[in-house]
Amino acid sequence: MVQGPVTVTVTGAAGQIGYALLFRIASGHLLGADVPVKLRLLEITPALKAAEGTAMELADGAFPLLQSVDISDDPRVAFDGANVALLVGARPRTKGMERGDLLEANGGIFKPQGAAINEVAADDIKVLVVGNPANTNALIAQAHAPDVPAERFTAMTRLDHNRAISQLAAKLDVPVTAIKKLTIWGNHSATQYPDLFHAEVNGKVAAEQVDEAWLRDTFIPTVAKRGAAIIEARGASSAASAASAAIDHVFTWVNGTAEGDWTSAAIPSDGSYGVPEGLISSFPVTAKDGKFSIVPGLEIDAFSRERIDASVAELGEERDAVRGLGLI
Ligand code: NAD
Ligand code: LMR
């Protein structure tokens, strides 16, 4: 049980995800319906006025659990005493930008934020990186926070997890609650692998309830490319669903997974399942007493192995690229 008040820092607070996220935090969905919250909003200087506007709306919500809202453009102020940090603000890829440029631009954000977390956050700080490329941004922040236990830096694949559950539930015409033990492996990118071989629908193996062609040619690409499909449809990347997944990730981390189920989160690898130690990769995880643990001992067949390896190889390339840029 969490004792309040809990200080929650949200970066990119004036952005689209921030707008969907802050009101759910204020109404108690992040930590629990009885946990008071102090919000700290971090934005870049030109967006401070927009953040003020959001803070005015938060005040207008008269949320019983919301004790304070502070806004800053200085990471050392915004992360001071933070118990939970949601790193949402990131540099989006713009026209003509190469992947290396994107990684470098994000290094300029996540390096100082990691250093500030190291210096001023609370001892129990938990960090969730949402801003893309989320896994590698988490690696950058972690590298600059040597005094914070490495496992406190996580990246979000809960949106992919939720998308996979929703697609499977629709296919089998079952409620989402019938689906357990779904796993997203690897990177939050189009190489991610949503695994139905360990997932269960009403207690039976999910992969055995769908035909192989649908699993391979429809389910996996639909989940993996859903972010791009949302951008195509909305003209902007997913925001409310991403905020909702961030809420789910932290709520589960703090309050635990249900007996007989697990979730997906990108956490530092301990070498399990052939994922090189230290890479922040998505795994099947349980949560208990505020800690994620990788579900041990799953058998990985050749079909899954190939896809996990491909996504993990991409994470390795991203790590090598940021290493080459001197960001970690
Ligand atoms: P947005 O452009 O609407 O908002 C981003 C905000 O971040 C802006 O207000 C910007 O001013 C701010 N910002 C930029 N640099 C900052 C810094 N150094 N410190 C503090 N704030 C800073 O974008 P959005 O739609 O809210 O998305 C945010 C990020 O989340 C993007 O990188 C997006 O790709 C990513 N995303 C991730 C997932 C996921 O599942 N992991 C899902 C959806 C979106
Ligand atoms: C998503 O999965 O919706 C986003 O990560 C897509 C994106 O590129 O912003």
Phi/psi at 264 (nearest 5 deg)? Answer: -120, 135
- Whether 110 and 318 have beta carbons less than 8 Å apart is answered as no
User: Is the confidence at residue 21, as pLDDT, over 60?
Assistant: yes
Cα–Cα distance measured from residue 98 to residue 91, given in angstroms and rounded to the nearest whole number: 13
Phi/psi at 283 (nearest 5 deg)? Answer: -140, 165
Q: In 32-72, where does DSSP find H-type helix? A: 48-60
User: If you average pLDDT over residues 13-31, what whole number do you get?
Assistant: 98
Averaged confidence pLDDT in the chain: 96
Which ligand is closest in space to the CA of residue 243?
1
- Cis check: omega of the bond before 112, within 30 degrees of 0: no
The pLDDT of residue 205 is 98
pLDDT digits (tens, 9 = 90+) for 135-172: 999 999 999 999 999 999 999 999 999 999 999 999 99
Q: Is the CB of 22 under 6 A from ligand 1?
A: no
The CATH number corresponding to 6-155 among 3.40.50.620, 3.40.50.9100, 3.40.309.10, 3.40.50.720 equals 3.40.50.720
User: Is the confidence at residue 5, as pLDDT, over 80?
Assistant: yes
The pLDDT of residue 94 is 73
The pLDDT of residue 99 is 72
Which ligand is closest in space to the CA of residue 48?
1
pLDDT digits (tens, 9 = 90+) for 206-236: 999 999 999 999 999 999 999 999 999 999 9
Atom 10 of ligand 1, nearest CA residue: 12
DSSP 325: T
The pLDDT of residue 2 is 56
246: tokens are 């961030």
Atom 1 of ligand 2, nearest CA residue: 227
Q: Which residues of 117-141 are buried (b: 16+ CB within 10 A; e: fewer)?
A: bbebbbeebbbbbbbbbbbbbbbbb
The pLDDT of residue 3 is 65
DSSP 296: P
Q: Where are the domains of the chain?
A: 6-155, 158-318
CATH assignment, 158-318: 3.90.110.10
pLDDT digits (tens, 9 = 90+) for 75-93: 999 999 999 999 999 987 7
Cα–ligand 1 centroid distance for 163 (angstroms): 20
Residue 122: how many CA atoms within 13 Å on its side-chain side? 14
**ipTM of the complex, rounded to two decimals:** 0.99
Residue-by-residue DSSP string for 186-250: B-SSTT-EEE-SS-EETTEEGGGGS-HHIIIIIIHHHHHTHHHHHHHHHSS---HHHHHHHHHHH
Q: Which residues of 234-271 are buried (b: 16+ CB within 10 A; e: fewer)?
A: eeeebbebbbbbbbbbbbbbbbebeeeebbbbbbbbee
The pLDDT of residue 101 is 83
Q: Is the CB of 47 under 6 A from ligand 1?
A: yes
User: If you average pLDDT over residues 42-51, what whole number do you get?
Assistant: 98
Query: Is residue 14 part of an annotated ligand binding site?
Result: yes
pLDDT digits (tens, 9 = 90+) for 287-325: 999 999 999 999 999 999 999 999 999 999 999 999 999
